[in-house]
Every structure is written in structure tokens, then in C-alpha cells.
Amino acid sequence: MFTDATHTPAGTDDDEAISTEIALAMYRTMSTARKFEKRAYDLFLQNLVKGTTHLGIGQEAVAAGVAAAMRKDDYSFITYRGHNHLIARGTPLPPLMAELLGRDNGLMHGKGGSMHLIDVERGILGSYAIIGAQLVIANGAAWSAQYRGSGQVTVCFFGDGATNIGAFHEALNFAVIWKLPVVFVCENNLYMEYTRIDGVTAVAHPAADRASAYNLPSILIDGNDPDEVYLTAKRAVDQARAGGGPSLIEAVTYRHGGHSRADPAKYRDPEEVRDWLTRDPLPAYRSRLVASGVREAVLDAIDAEIITQVDEATEQAKAGAWPRPERLHTNVWSDGGATWRN
């Protein structure tokens, strides 16, 4: 846990209990995301994943902890580094993998690819390649839920670089003024693409240090600790659902690789990389579960099951047909078509 005199990580009491069921679910999410993205990386090297990909290896605890605190009908808005968030919300692996390969059996029939993923059935209302664009759109979803009285909460993820975008400030101001049921989660992996965030930002903690400007508490947490992420997110989600308005959470984490698959990340200090690799959330959480009494055999069985699922998803994706040209003329409008309307 990050603690200092400036930040108040409300909702992270060490003595707050997390059930074994939730803990194992978070472990399963993190392990699935890790194995899925490693396979996606292998497929990229085989030229089967077209374009580029932005992997979240090392950042899985944020996705797992927040998703565990959400209701099934809640909404998620994510970035182009979002495979782990779809997995956390329950998107099946075969259509997700097929989408990365651009096949017709993909989540969006191969038209979205790695950076533009949507799963409306599970409340994933888009991964956005334009930095910060999703924050104001997330407000719209939250406003809709507030108007309809549905009790749904919107969670909006963004990177540290988005905090220097105008939409970040506009969205926070509007959300507070209208007391919207939205939780903003900054995944601070220390780098905005190829540049360290602290080299171009006036404050040390790009989201938490700016919260007070919008009359919000400053919440700074360890984004590599799924328990801390879950407890913090649960309080924020519960508050939003009860009509208490928005929250802003900064979760400090680290991506193990470069910004994208085309980036060897040689601009990073090797010592910094080695230090963060020792804080890898997946083996750390496995050790914590074992220390708490979970048998290694239980975790081994989960991992073996996941490997089988990733293998099956890979084969189904490879076997998928290419989208026919007619696909270009579908899903442009909400009615599923593309007929021009004037």
C-alpha cells in the first residue's frame, strides 16, 4: 500500500476480509490474462496477429481487482491496452483470440482487432485508441444509468498519459458537478508511450495529486496488489451505486514490455525493469494464496485448465474464415446496417 501524508487510500484496511472465492477468481483472471497475452505475443511473431498489439503483461492485478468489485451489468470503458479487462469481465477466449487474428469468428467479426474491442453483452463499451477520449463518453453512459435509475456503475480506465489531456479534466469536472455513478481508474505504469510521466508532468502522482482540484479524495494504491485494488474499487463502486458520486483512483503498476510490440523499450533503465519484475503481481499473489492456506494443487489445476482454454481458443481462431467483403457494410449504424440516412 502507498501511504503518505498527502494521499488517503480509503477502503484499503488491512483487516478487511476477502473471501477465498473472490481471491481465487482474481488469481484465475490474472493467470488467464497472462497466458492469453503471451500466446498473442507468440502469434504476433508468427505474423498471425496483424497490425500491432499493446500488451498489459504486468498490469493484470488492476483488471482483476476492479472487475471483481463490479456487477455484471455495470459498464467498462478501456484503453487500447485492454485484453486483460475483457478477460476480467468474462469475455470468452475463442472470439477474443479470433478478433486479434482478424477472423470472421472474432468478437467483432475481425473488424476491430486488438485496439478496438467491444463486448456489449458484458458491458464493455469500447477500447479507445485516442488517448483520453473514453473519459467523456464514460460520463455519458453513467449519466444514462443515472437518468434511468438502473443502479449501474461505469468504470473508466485510462493511462497516466491521459491525465495531461483536456478530456481528463473536463470529464472529472462534469462527473462531480452531476454526481455521476462513475469510477475513474488511472493505470499509472510510469510511461506515456515512450516518455516517463514524471518528466513531463508538474505533479508526482498525475491522477491522485489532481483529485483535490475536483473536490475528490486523493486515492493512490499499489496496482500490483489485487486485494488492495479490489477493496478500493469496491468502496468506490458501492459509493457510486448508492448515489455518492464519482471517484478517482490512481493504481501504480508497470508493464513488463514496451509500449507496443514494435517497441523494444530500450529507453528504460535496466535496473528499474529488474526491480519491477521482482514485484510481478502474478507470482506474488500465488505465494500469498499459498501462505494463506490454499493448496498448490488447486492453483496448478487452475493454471492447467487455463492453458487448455488458451490452446483451444488459438486453434479455433486459426480455423476461422476471413471476413467476406460484405462485412464492410455491416454494423455502421445501431440497426446493424450501413445504408446512408439523410
pLDDT at residue 284 greater than cutoff 60: yes
Query: Among 194, 199, 200, which residue's Cα sits nearest to residue 267?
Result: 194
Q: Which residues contact 295 (CB under 8 A, 6 or more apart)?
A: none
User: Tens digit of pLDDT for each residue in 160-172?
Assistant: 999 999 999 999 9
CA dihedral 102, 107, 108, 114 (to 10 degrees): -50
Q: Where are the alpha helices (DSSP H) in the chain?
A: 20-45, 60-68, 83-89, 93-100, 133-148, 166-177, 226-241, 270-277, 281-291, 296-319
pLDDT at residue 109 greater than cutoff 70: yes
- DSSP per-residue string spanning 22-69: HHHHHHHHHHHHHHHHHHHHHHHHTT-S-S-----TT-HHHHHHHHHT
DSSP letter, residue 252: E
- Confidence label for 45 from pLDDT (cuts 50, 70 and 90): very high
DSSP letter, residue 277: H
The rounded Cα 101 to chain-centroid distance in angstroms is 21
- Confidence label for 209 from pLDDT (cuts 50, 70 and 90): very high
pTM value?
A: 0.95
What integer pLDDT is reported at residue 11 of this predicted model? 47
> How big is the chain by its Cα radius of gyration, in Å?
20
Please state the rounded mean pLDDT for residues 20-27.
98
What integer pLDDT is reported at residue 3 of this predicted model? 47
Per-position b or e across 65-103, b if 16+ CB within 10 A of its CB: bbbbbbeeebbbbbbbbbbbbbbbbebebbbbbbbbbbb
Percentage above 90 pLDDT, the chain: 89
Alpha-carbon distance 215 to 217, whole Å? 7
The residue type of 21 is: E
Element (H, E) at 251: strand 247-252
Is the CB of residue 107 less than 8 Å from the CB of residue 98? Answer: yes
Alpha-carbon distance 327 to 185, whole Å? 35
**Which bin fits 49, alpha (ψ -120 to 50), beta or left (φ > 0)?**
beta
pLDDT at residue 224 greater than cutoff 70: yes
Alpha-carbon distance 62 to 60, whole Å? 5
> CA triplet 144, 89, 237: central angle to 5 degrees?
50
What integer pLDDT is reported at residue 268 of this predicted model? 96
Please state the rounded mean pLDDT for residues 322-335.
89
User: Tens digit of pLDDT for each residue in 131-158?
Assistant: 999 999 999 999 999 999 999 999 999 9
pLDDT at residue 8 greater than cutoff 60: no
Q: For the chain, what is the mean pLDDT?
A: 94
- Confidence label for 331 from pLDDT (cuts 50, 70 and 90): confident
Residue 76: phi and psi, rounded to 5, are -125, 135
pLDDT at residue 7 greater than cutoff 70: no
Please state the rounded mean pLDDT for residues 282-293.
98
Residue 157: phi and psi, rounded to 5, are -95, 145
Element (H, E) at 120: none
User: Tens digit of pLDDT for each residue in 151-195?
Assistant: 999 999 999 999 999 999 999 999 999 999 999 999 999 999 999
User: Tens digit of pLDDT for each residue in 56-73?
Assistant: 999 999 999 999 999 999
- Confidence label for 339 from pLDDT (cuts 50, 70 and 90): confident
